Amino acid sequence: MNDTPKHTLTVIERIEEPGNILRVKLAAADGAPLPPFTAGAHIDVRLQDGDLDLWRQYSLCSDPAQTDHYEIGVLRAPNSRGGSEALHRLAVVGARFTIDGPRNHFALTEDAAQTVLFGGGIGITPMLAMAQRLHRLGRDFVVHYCTRSDSATAFRDVIAVAPWADRVVFHHDDRDPAQRLDPARDLPPPSADTHLYVCGPAGFMEWVIGAATTAGHAPGNIHREYFSAEVDVSGDRFEVTARRSGVTVSVGPEDTIAKALARVGVSITVKCEEGVCGTCVTDILDGTPDHRDRFLTDEERAEGTMLCVCCSRARSKTLILDI
Protein backbone atom coordinates (compact mmCIF):
# COMPACT_ATOMS: atom_id res chain seq x y z
CA MET A 1 0.00 0.00 0.00
CA ASN A 2 1.12 3.59 -0.60
CA ASP A 3 2.31 5.42 2.49
CA THR A 4 4.37 8.19 0.86
CA PRO A 5 3.46 11.75 1.89
CA LYS A 6 1.34 13.95 -0.35
CA HIS A 7 2.48 17.46 -1.19
CA THR A 8 1.48 20.33 -3.48
CA LEU A 9 3.71 21.35 -6.37
CA THR A 10 3.46 24.21 -8.86
CA VAL A 11 3.97 24.09 -12.62
CA ILE A 12 7.05 26.22 -13.36
CA GLU A 13 7.41 25.34 -17.05
CA ARG A 14 5.28 23.80 -19.78
CA ILE A 15 6.94 22.58 -22.98
CA GLU A 16 5.05 21.27 -26.01
CA GLU A 17 6.96 18.36 -27.52
CA PRO A 18 6.41 16.60 -30.87
CA GLY A 19 4.10 13.60 -30.92
CA ASN A 20 1.35 15.24 -28.83
CA ILE A 21 3.52 15.04 -25.71
CA LEU A 22 3.60 17.69 -23.00
CA ARG A 23 6.69 18.14 -20.84
CA VAL A 24 5.86 19.59 -17.41
CA LYS A 25 8.26 20.84 -14.73
CA LEU A 26 6.94 20.94 -11.15
CA ALA A 27 8.52 22.57 -8.10
CA ALA A 28 7.68 23.65 -4.57
CA ALA A 29 6.15 27.13 -4.46
CA ASP A 30 8.87 28.30 -2.04
CA GLY A 31 11.69 26.71 -4.02
CA ALA A 32 12.46 24.19 -1.28
CA PRO A 33 14.24 20.96 -2.28
CA LEU A 34 11.93 18.12 -3.25
CA PRO A 35 12.07 14.57 -1.87
CA PRO A 36 14.83 12.68 -3.69
CA PHE A 37 13.99 9.98 -6.20
CA THR A 38 15.79 7.13 -7.90
CA ALA A 39 15.89 6.43 -11.64
CA GLY A 40 12.72 4.67 -12.76
CA ALA A 41 10.51 6.33 -10.14
CA HIS A 42 7.12 7.90 -10.79
CA ILE A 43 4.79 10.33 -9.08
CA ASP A 44 1.01 10.15 -8.72
CA VAL A 45 -0.72 13.35 -9.83
CA ARG A 46 -4.25 14.22 -8.74
CA LEU A 47 -6.32 15.72 -11.55
CA GLN A 48 -9.37 17.67 -10.43
CA ASP A 49 -11.60 19.60 -12.80
CA GLY A 50 -15.34 19.84 -12.19
CA ASP A 51 -16.69 16.30 -11.86
CA LEU A 52 -13.31 14.87 -12.79
CA ASP A 53 -11.24 13.59 -9.86
CA LEU A 54 -8.53 11.14 -10.92
CA TRP A 55 -5.10 9.99 -9.82
CA ARG A 56 -2.66 9.20 -12.63
CA GLN A 57 0.94 7.98 -12.59
CA TYR A 58 3.75 9.63 -14.55
CA SER A 59 7.40 8.57 -14.72
CA LEU A 60 10.00 11.13 -13.71
CA CYS A 61 12.30 11.93 -16.63
CA SER A 62 14.49 14.52 -14.94
CA ASP A 63 17.95 13.90 -13.51
CA PRO A 64 17.71 12.09 -10.16
CA ALA A 65 20.60 14.27 -8.97
CA GLN A 66 18.39 17.37 -9.20
CA THR A 67 16.18 18.21 -6.23
CA ASP A 68 14.84 21.61 -7.28
CA HIS A 69 12.12 20.22 -9.58
CA TYR A 70 10.46 17.13 -11.01
CA GLU A 71 9.85 16.70 -14.72
CA ILE A 72 7.29 14.45 -16.41
CA GLY A 73 6.21 13.79 -19.99
CA VAL A 74 2.53 13.19 -20.76
CA LEU A 75 1.11 11.82 -24.00
CA ARG A 76 -2.35 13.08 -24.92
CA ALA A 77 -3.82 9.67 -25.66
CA PRO A 78 -6.85 9.51 -27.99
CA ASN A 79 -8.31 6.63 -25.96
CA SER A 80 -7.63 8.33 -22.62
CA ARG A 81 -10.20 7.99 -19.84
CA GLY A 82 -9.74 11.70 -19.16
CA GLY A 83 -6.41 11.85 -17.34
CA SER A 84 -4.03 12.88 -20.12
CA GLU A 85 -6.55 15.30 -21.64
CA ALA A 86 -7.03 16.92 -18.24
CA LEU A 87 -3.33 17.29 -17.56
CA HIS A 88 -2.68 18.83 -20.99
CA ARG A 89 -5.47 21.32 -20.29
CA LEU A 90 -4.72 22.08 -16.65
CA ALA A 91 -0.92 22.11 -16.52
CA VAL A 92 -0.38 25.80 -17.20
CA VAL A 93 2.42 27.75 -15.53
CA GLY A 94 1.35 28.56 -11.98
CA ALA A 95 -1.17 25.71 -11.70
CA ARG A 96 -0.90 23.63 -8.53
CA PHE A 97 -1.26 19.87 -8.27
CA THR A 98 -1.40 17.45 -5.37
CA ILE A 99 1.41 14.93 -5.77
CA ASP A 100 1.90 11.56 -4.10
CA GLY A 101 5.36 10.03 -4.18
CA PRO A 102 7.85 9.59 -5.63
CA ARG A 103 7.71 5.79 -5.63
CA ASN A 104 9.76 3.30 -7.62
CA HIS A 105 8.53 -0.05 -8.96
CA PHE A 106 10.96 0.06 -11.91
CA ALA A 107 14.24 0.39 -10.08
CA LEU A 108 17.56 0.47 -11.87
CA THR A 109 20.21 -2.18 -11.11
CA GLU A 110 23.05 0.29 -10.80
CA ASP A 111 25.92 -2.21 -10.65
CA ALA A 112 25.02 -4.09 -13.85
CA ALA A 113 27.93 -4.61 -16.23
CA GLN A 114 25.70 -3.73 -19.19
CA THR A 115 22.27 -2.05 -19.34
CA VAL A 116 20.04 -1.79 -22.41
CA LEU A 117 17.04 0.55 -22.28
CA PHE A 118 14.13 0.10 -24.71
CA GLY A 119 11.67 3.02 -24.87
CA GLY A 120 8.67 3.01 -27.18
CA GLY A 121 7.09 6.45 -27.66
CA ILE A 122 6.19 7.98 -24.28
CA GLY A 123 7.93 4.97 -22.70
CA ILE A 124 11.19 6.88 -23.14
CA THR A 125 10.45 8.99 -20.04
CA PRO A 126 11.84 6.69 -17.31
CA MET A 127 14.73 5.80 -19.62
CA LEU A 128 15.87 9.43 -19.65
CA ALA A 129 16.30 9.42 -15.87
CA MET A 130 18.03 6.03 -16.07
CA ALA A 131 20.42 7.24 -18.78
CA GLN A 132 21.39 10.26 -16.70
CA ARG A 133 22.04 8.09 -13.66
CA LEU A 134 24.00 5.46 -15.59
CA HIS A 135 26.14 8.15 -17.21
CA ARG A 136 26.87 9.70 -13.82
CA LEU A 137 27.94 6.26 -12.55
CA GLY A 138 30.13 5.66 -15.59
CA ARG A 139 28.26 2.47 -16.56
CA ASP A 140 28.03 0.78 -19.95
CA PHE A 141 24.58 1.36 -21.44
CA VAL A 142 22.64 2.01 -24.63
CA VAL A 143 19.16 3.48 -25.21
CA HIS A 144 16.95 2.25 -28.07
CA TYR A 145 14.26 4.88 -28.69
CA CYS A 146 11.42 3.78 -30.99
CA THR A 147 8.85 6.20 -32.44
CA ARG A 148 6.41 6.38 -35.36
CA SER A 149 8.48 9.03 -37.14
CA ASP A 150 11.27 11.53 -36.64
CA SER A 151 8.68 14.35 -36.60
CA ALA A 152 6.84 12.64 -33.70
CA THR A 153 9.96 12.09 -31.58
CA ALA A 154 9.76 13.96 -28.27
CA PHE A 155 12.76 14.92 -26.14
CA ARG A 156 15.07 15.04 -29.16
CA ASP A 157 16.41 18.45 -28.12
CA VAL A 158 17.03 17.18 -24.57
CA ILE A 159 18.89 14.15 -25.84
CA ALA A 160 20.92 16.16 -28.36
CA VAL A 161 22.65 18.20 -25.64
CA ALA A 162 23.03 15.34 -23.15
CA PRO A 163 26.60 14.12 -22.52
CA TRP A 164 25.32 10.60 -23.27
CA ALA A 165 23.69 11.48 -26.62
CA ASP A 166 25.98 9.05 -28.43
CA ARG A 167 24.43 6.20 -26.39
CA VAL A 168 20.99 6.73 -27.97
CA VAL A 169 19.90 4.82 -31.08
CA PHE A 170 16.77 6.16 -32.78
CA HIS A 171 14.36 3.84 -34.60
CA HIS A 172 11.48 5.26 -36.67
CA ASP A 173 8.65 3.25 -38.20
CA ASP A 174 8.49 5.43 -41.33
CA ARG A 175 12.17 5.15 -42.26
CA ASP A 176 14.30 2.51 -43.94
CA PRO A 177 13.37 -0.87 -42.39
CA ALA A 178 17.07 -1.50 -41.76
CA GLN A 179 17.12 1.16 -39.02
CA ARG A 180 14.04 -0.15 -37.21
CA LEU A 181 14.50 -2.00 -33.95
CA ASP A 182 15.59 -5.57 -34.65
CA PRO A 183 15.76 -7.71 -31.49
CA ALA A 184 18.02 -10.24 -33.22
CA ARG A 185 20.52 -7.45 -33.85
CA ASP A 186 19.90 -5.05 -30.97
CA LEU A 187 19.53 -7.40 -28.00
CA PRO A 188 22.86 -8.17 -26.31
CA PRO A 189 23.85 -11.77 -25.56
CA PRO A 190 22.28 -13.07 -22.32
CA SER A 191 24.45 -12.61 -19.25
CA ALA A 192 23.95 -12.59 -15.50
CA ASP A 193 25.34 -9.03 -15.49
CA THR A 194 23.21 -7.71 -18.36
CA HIS A 195 19.90 -6.04 -17.55
CA LEU A 196 17.15 -4.96 -19.93
CA TYR A 197 14.48 -2.30 -19.28
CA VAL A 198 11.35 -2.01 -21.40
CA CYS A 199 8.60 0.63 -21.36
CA GLY A 200 6.06 1.77 -23.92
CA PRO A 201 2.81 0.60 -25.55
CA ALA A 202 1.75 -2.88 -24.45
CA GLY A 203 2.25 -4.44 -27.89
CA PHE A 204 5.77 -3.02 -28.16
CA MET A 205 6.63 -4.27 -24.69
CA GLU A 206 5.33 -7.78 -25.27
CA TRP A 207 7.31 -7.97 -28.51
CA VAL A 208 10.60 -6.90 -26.92
CA ILE A 209 10.07 -8.97 -23.77
CA GLY A 210 9.13 -12.03 -25.82
CA ALA A 211 12.23 -11.68 -27.99
CA ALA A 212 14.45 -11.24 -24.93
CA THR A 213 12.95 -14.29 -23.25
CA THR A 214 13.37 -16.39 -26.41
CA ALA A 215 16.98 -15.21 -26.65
CA GLY A 216 17.63 -16.63 -23.18
CA HIS A 217 17.65 -13.56 -20.96
CA ALA A 218 16.68 -14.46 -17.39
CA PRO A 219 13.21 -13.22 -16.35
CA GLY A 220 14.76 -11.42 -13.37
CA ASN A 221 16.97 -9.41 -15.74
CA ILE A 222 14.08 -8.21 -17.93
CA HIS A 223 12.49 -5.22 -16.20
CA ARG A 224 9.23 -3.70 -17.38
CA GLU A 225 6.82 -0.89 -16.57
CA TYR A 226 3.36 -0.53 -18.09
CA PHE A 227 1.79 2.92 -18.37
CA SER A 228 -1.63 1.53 -19.14
CA ALA A 229 -3.32 -1.73 -19.96
CA GLU A 230 -6.55 -3.03 -21.45
CA VAL A 231 -8.09 -4.93 -18.55
CA ASP A 232 -10.99 -7.37 -18.65
CA VAL A 233 -12.56 -7.25 -15.18
CA SER A 234 -15.53 -9.45 -16.07
CA GLY A 235 -16.08 -13.01 -14.88
CA ASP A 236 -18.19 -15.29 -12.72
CA ARG A 237 -19.62 -14.12 -9.42
CA PHE A 238 -17.57 -14.81 -6.27
CA GLU A 239 -17.46 -13.72 -2.64
CA VAL A 240 -14.82 -11.65 -0.88
CA THR A 241 -14.40 -11.52 2.88
CA ALA A 242 -12.51 -8.60 4.38
CA ARG A 243 -11.24 -10.38 7.51
CA ARG A 244 -10.21 -7.38 9.61
CA SER A 245 -13.26 -5.35 8.59
CA GLY A 246 -15.59 -8.25 9.31
CA VAL A 247 -17.64 -8.01 6.11
CA THR A 248 -18.37 -10.29 3.17
CA VAL A 249 -19.51 -9.04 -0.24
CA SER A 250 -20.53 -10.57 -3.53
CA VAL A 251 -18.54 -9.45 -6.58
CA GLY A 252 -20.70 -9.61 -9.69
CA PRO A 253 -19.77 -10.41 -13.31
CA GLU A 254 -18.99 -6.79 -14.23
CA ASP A 255 -17.95 -5.59 -10.76
CA THR A 256 -14.53 -5.17 -9.15
CA ILE A 257 -13.42 -6.17 -5.67
CA ALA A 258 -12.55 -2.59 -4.81
CA LYS A 259 -15.95 -1.23 -5.86
CA ALA A 260 -17.88 -4.01 -4.11
CA LEU A 261 -16.01 -3.41 -0.85
CA ALA A 262 -16.38 0.37 -1.13
CA ARG A 263 -20.16 0.00 -1.25
CA VAL A 264 -20.12 -1.54 2.23
CA GLY A 265 -17.69 0.99 3.67
CA VAL A 266 -14.36 -0.80 3.17
CA SER A 267 -12.22 1.74 1.34
CA ILE A 268 -9.09 0.72 -0.52
CA THR A 269 -7.07 3.40 -2.30
CA VAL A 270 -7.30 2.85 -6.06
CA LYS A 271 -5.54 5.08 -8.56
CA CYS A 272 -4.86 3.63 -12.00
CA GLU A 273 -7.85 1.23 -12.16
CA GLU A 274 -5.87 -0.81 -14.71
CA GLY A 275 -3.60 -2.91 -12.50
CA VAL A 276 -0.40 -1.09 -13.42
CA CYS A 277 0.46 1.11 -10.42
CA GLY A 278 0.32 -1.28 -7.45
CA THR A 279 -1.47 1.15 -5.14
CA CYS A 280 -4.29 -1.30 -4.36
CA VAL A 281 -2.22 -4.46 -3.82
CA THR A 282 -3.81 -6.41 -0.97
CA ASP A 283 -2.72 -9.54 0.90
CA ILE A 284 -4.69 -12.77 0.41
CA LEU A 285 -5.34 -14.96 3.46
CA ASP A 286 -7.22 -17.71 1.64
CA GLY A 287 -8.51 -18.49 -1.86
CA THR A 288 -7.10 -18.53 -5.38
CA PRO A 289 -6.75 -15.24 -7.27
CA ASP A 290 -7.37 -14.68 -10.96
CA HIS A 291 -4.70 -12.09 -11.74
CA ARG A 292 -5.64 -9.48 -14.36
CA ASP A 293 -2.96 -6.89 -13.53
CA ARG A 294 0.32 -5.90 -15.16
CA PHE A 295 1.99 -4.95 -11.89
CA LEU A 296 2.86 -8.18 -10.06
CA THR A 297 5.76 -10.29 -11.27
CA ASP A 298 5.25 -13.85 -12.49
CA GLU A 299 6.84 -15.05 -9.26
CA GLU A 300 4.46 -12.98 -7.12
CA ARG A 301 1.49 -14.24 -9.08
CA ALA A 302 2.62 -17.84 -8.63
CA GLU A 303 2.84 -17.33 -4.86
CA GLY A 304 -0.83 -16.31 -4.81
CA THR A 305 -0.45 -14.22 -1.65
CA MET A 306 -1.53 -10.83 -3.01
CA LEU A 307 -3.62 -9.27 -5.78
CA CYS A 308 -4.64 -5.93 -7.27
CA VAL A 309 -8.23 -5.37 -6.16
CA CYS A 310 -8.89 -2.77 -8.87
CA CYS A 311 -9.06 -5.40 -11.61
CA SER A 312 -8.20 -8.95 -10.50
CA ARG A 313 -10.81 -11.56 -9.61
CA ALA A 314 -11.02 -15.04 -8.03
CA ARG A 315 -10.72 -18.55 -9.43
CA SER A 316 -12.11 -19.94 -6.17
CA LYS A 317 -15.65 -19.28 -4.97
CA THR A 318 -14.31 -17.18 -2.08
CA LEU A 319 -11.34 -14.92 -1.38
CA ILE A 320 -10.39 -13.87 2.13
CA LEU A 321 -8.37 -10.65 2.21
CA ASP A 322 -6.33 -9.09 5.00
CA ILE A 323 -8.22 -5.82 5.21
Residue 144 banded pLDDT, cuts 50, 70, 90: very high
230 in a domain, yes or no?
Answer: no
Same domain membership, residue 213 and residue 152: yes
pLDDT reported for residue 125 = 97
Q: How far is CA 110 from the centre of its chain?
A: 19
202, 225, 248 - which closes a domain: 225
Residues 6 or more apart whose CB falls under 8 angstroms from that of 182 comprise none
151 in a domain, yes or no?
Answer: yes
Q: Of all residues in the chain, what percent carry a pLDDT higher than 90?
A: 78
Residue 54 banded pLDDT, cuts 50, 70, 90: confident
Question: Which stretch of 9-13, 224-228, 230-234, 263-267 has the lowest confidence by average pLDDT?
Answer: 230-234
pLDDT reported for residue 2 = 45
Give the tens place of pLDDT for each residue, 161-218.
999 999 999 999 998 999 999 999 999 999 999 999 999 998 999 999 999 999 999 9
pLDDT at 1 over 60: no
Most confident of 10-14, 81-85, 228-232, 297-301: 10-14
Same domain membership, residue 179 and residue 124: yes
- Sheet containing strand 238-242, strands side by side: 247-251, 238-242, 318-321, 281-286, 306-308
Residue 229 banded pLDDT, cuts 50, 70, 90: low
Q: In this structure, are residues 7 and 99 in contact, taking their beta carbons and an 8 Å threshold?
A: yes
Average pLDDT over residues 24-46: 96
Q: Which domain holds residue 13?
A: 6-103
Strand partners, 98: 8
Residue 45 banded pLDDT, cuts 50, 70, 90: very high
pLDDT at 272 over 80: no
Question: What value, to the nearest 5°, has the Cα angle with vertex 181 and ends 176 and 187?
Answer: 145
Same domain membership, residue 99 and residue 27: yes
294 in a domain, yes or no?
Answer: yes
Same domain membership, residue 127 and residue 96: no
For 68: left if phi > 0, alpha if psi spans -120 to 50, otherwise beta; the answer is alpha
Same domain membership, residue 99 and residue 17: yes
> Is the link from the previous residue into 177 a cis peptide, with omega within 30 of 0?
no
Average pLDDT over residues 117-126: 97
pLDDT reported for residue 228 = 67
Same domain membership, residue 220 and residue 121: yes
Same domain membership, residue 123 and residue 149: yes
103, 127, 159 - which closes a domain: 103
**Mean model confidence pLDDT for the chain:** 92
Same domain membership, residue 267 and residue 197: no
Residue 295 banded pLDDT, cuts 50, 70, 90: confident
pLDDT reported for residue 91 = 96
205 in a domain, yes or no?
Answer: yes
Same domain membership, residue 50 and residue 73: yes
- CATH number, domain of 307, equals 3.10.20.30
166, 191, 225 - which closes a domain: 225
232 in a domain, yes or no?
Answer: no
Q: How far is CA 14 from CA 10, 71, 95, in A?
A: 11, 10, 11
- CATH number, domain of 136, equals 3.40.50.80
Average pLDDT over residues 216-236: 86
The number of domains in the chain is 3
24 in a domain, yes or no?
Answer: yes
Question: Which stretch of 80-89, 120-129, 217-226 has the lowest confidence by average pLDDT?
Answer: 80-89
29 burial level (CB within 10 Å; 0-12, 13-18, 19+):
exposed
Same domain membership, residue 244 and residue 213: no
Same domain membership, residue 97 and residue 10: yes
How far is it, in rounded angstroms, from Cα 120 to Cα 308? 26
Same domain membership, residue 278 and residue 219: no
313 in a domain, yes or no?
Answer: yes
pLDDT reported for residue 226 = 84
